[in-house]
């Protein structure tokens, strides 16, 4: 299968059956090989620089009831919060002073955070920080709403499709949600001109290898600027509390597949991967990831944004811990970049 990996690097794709076999039969040696190939491609495109994005979790209130997610509407056991505009701007200020040039506003689908309010927040951040990128990750909105946020100054939007297969989508979400709607949102975001991110959880309940192959092929067609891949991790207050986590091996295999297929995509080593294994972030980078997203949220709220058990939010996961992060990255030959880190299409062969 080494030849397939070489071909994946050259031609940026494989046949569905080859992907399927790679996903089921990749042993430790082959995993090391594909990780190395992907790391090389990442080094060729980005050098040894890792972009940082300041994550601001603006609300853990959500109208949705996704079975995997700790901040689902049906969880009565978490303390809900919503940051004020002042608090969000304060997070940006602290982030800016630490060197962040991208702010990611992430939150549940909170009906109290109306389009007007979000638009105002984006407008104010844009005015205050003209040199920064604003990324939103606020779930499904109408095309019109996405357009308003874009005009207000947002540049990027993260919306994982979670799974391309509709039957699997229905296993992860209540009936009122639809995979089709999610895909329409992604198309709208792309059409409007956002740098668009999508992705999946690895090892989510009910996920089959065929589902993952469909996800790979969907992402190939969509050509998103950002690809978010992290392991599923159970949360104790959800219907999936007893389900097993995704594995580090499967996650870094997929990271490498995506890096080889999408050399210039912005791919984070996710917090979920860092939560699953103490060396998760490093393993992600050594498999081709080139972004990390430290937490800029106020300390008191951080533990309330618990999407899964034991979500990492201290040390290298936090903005205060940038020095720790810098050390971890140095130890594997990388450095933090304080550039904005916009998507740049690669034009050469790697
Ligand atoms: N485990 C891993 N990732 C999760 N997310 C939500 N809940 C979990 C979980 N239990 C991810 C989803 C979502 C992103 C913000 O967090 O993929 O898109």
67-82: average pLDDT: 98
Quote the mean pLDDT of the chain. Answer: 97
How close is the Cα of 70 to the center of ligand 1, in Å? 9
As to burial, measured by CB atoms within 10 angstroms (0-12 exposed, 13-18 middle, 19+ buried), residue 244 is exposed
247, pLDDT greater than 90: yes
What CATH number does residue 278 fall under? 3.20.20.70
pLDDT of residue 191: 98
Residue 162 Cβ < 6 Å to ligand 1: yes
Per-residue pLDDT band at 233 (split at 50, 70, 90): very high
Residue 58 Cβ < 6 Å to ligand 1: no
Residues of the chain with pLDDT > 70, as a percent, come to 100
ipTM of the modeled complex: 0.99
Q: Are 51 and 42 in contact (CB under 8 A)?
A: no
Q: Are 338 and 100 in contact (CB under 8 A)?
A: yes
The preferred substitution site among 276, 295, 307 for testing ligand 1, maximizing ligand atoms within 8 Å of CB, is 307
Evaluate whether residue 345 is within a structural domain.
no
Residue 19 Cβ < 6 Å to ligand 1: no
pLDDT of residue 104: 98
pLDDT of residue 350: 84
Evaluate whether residue 7 is within a structural domain.
no
The dihedral built from the CA positions of residue 301, 304, 308 and 310, taken in this order, carries a sign that is: positive
Tokens of 301: 């709220």
Q: Give the C-alpha separation, 111 to 108, whole Å.
A: 9
Q: Give the C-alpha separation, 151 to 155, whole Å.
A: 9
Counting from 1 in the atom list of ligand 1, the atom nearest the Cα of 238 is 10
Between 329 and 313, residue with greater pLDDT: 329
231, pLDDT greater than 80: yes
pLDDT of residue 312: 83
317, pLDDT greater than 90: no
Q: How many CB atoms lie within 10 A of CB 136?
A: 26
Contacts of residue 209, defined as CB under 8 A and 6 or more positions apart, other chains included, come to: 20, 23, 24
349, pLDDT greater than 90: no
Evaluate whether residue 175 is within a structural domain.
yes
Evaluate whether residue 226 is within a structural domain.
yes
65, pLDDT greater than 90: yes
pLDDT of residue 321: 84
Evaluate whether residue 1 is within a structural domain.
no
Evaluate whether residue 263 is within a structural domain.
yes
Evaluate whether residue 146 is within a structural domain.
yes
**Which among 325, 253, 255 has a CA at the least distance from the CA of 99?**
325
Evaluate whether residue 131 is within a structural domain.
yes
Between 349 and 282, residue with greater pLDDT: 282
**236 lies in which domain range?**
15-332
85-99: average pLDDT: 96
Number of structural domains (the chain) is 1
């Amino acid at each position: 299968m080494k030849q397939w990996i070489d071909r994946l690097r050259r031609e940026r794709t494989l046949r569905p059956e080859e992907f399927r076999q790679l996903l089921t039969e990749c042993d430790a040696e082959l995993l090391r090989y594909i990780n190395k190939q992907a790391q090389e491609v990442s080094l060729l495109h980005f050098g040894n620089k890792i972009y940082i994005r300041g994550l601001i979790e603006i609300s853990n209130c959500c109208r949705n009831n996704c079975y995997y997610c700790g901040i689902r509407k049906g969880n009565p056991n978490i303390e809900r919060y919503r940051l004020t505009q002042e608090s969000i701007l304060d997070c940006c200020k602290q982030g800016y002073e630490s060197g962040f040039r991208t702010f990611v506003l992430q939150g549940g689908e909170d009906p109290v955070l109306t389009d007007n309010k979000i638009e105002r927040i984006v407008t104010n951040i844009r005015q205050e920080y003209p040199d920064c990128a604003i990324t939103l990750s606020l779930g499904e909105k109408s095309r019109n709403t996405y357009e308003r946020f874009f005009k207000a100054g947002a540049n990027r939007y993260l919306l994982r499709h979670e799974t391309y297969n509709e039957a699997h989508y229905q296993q992860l979400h209540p009936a009122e949600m639809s995979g089709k709607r999610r895909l329409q949102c992604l198309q709208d975001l792309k059409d409007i001109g956002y740098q668009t991110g999508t992705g999946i959880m690895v090892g989510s309940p009910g996920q089959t290898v065929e589902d993952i192959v469909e996800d790979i092929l969907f992402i190939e067609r969509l050509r998103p600027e950002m690809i978010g891949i992290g392991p599923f991790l159970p949360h104790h207050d959800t219907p999936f509390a007893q389900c097993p986590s995704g594995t580090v091996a499967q996650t870094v295999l997929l990271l490498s597949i995506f890096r080889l297929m999408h050399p210039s995509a912005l791919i984070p080593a996710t917090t979920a991967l860092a939560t699953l294994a103490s060396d998760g972030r490093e393993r992600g980078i050594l498999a081709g990831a080139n972004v990390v997203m430290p937490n800029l949220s106020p300390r008191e709220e951080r533990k309330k944004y618990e999407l899964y058990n034991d979500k990492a939010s201290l040390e290298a996961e936090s903005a205060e811990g940038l020095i720790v992060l810098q050390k971890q990255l140095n130890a594997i030959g990388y450095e933090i970049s304080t550039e904005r880190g916009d998507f740049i299409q690669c034009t050469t062969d790697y």
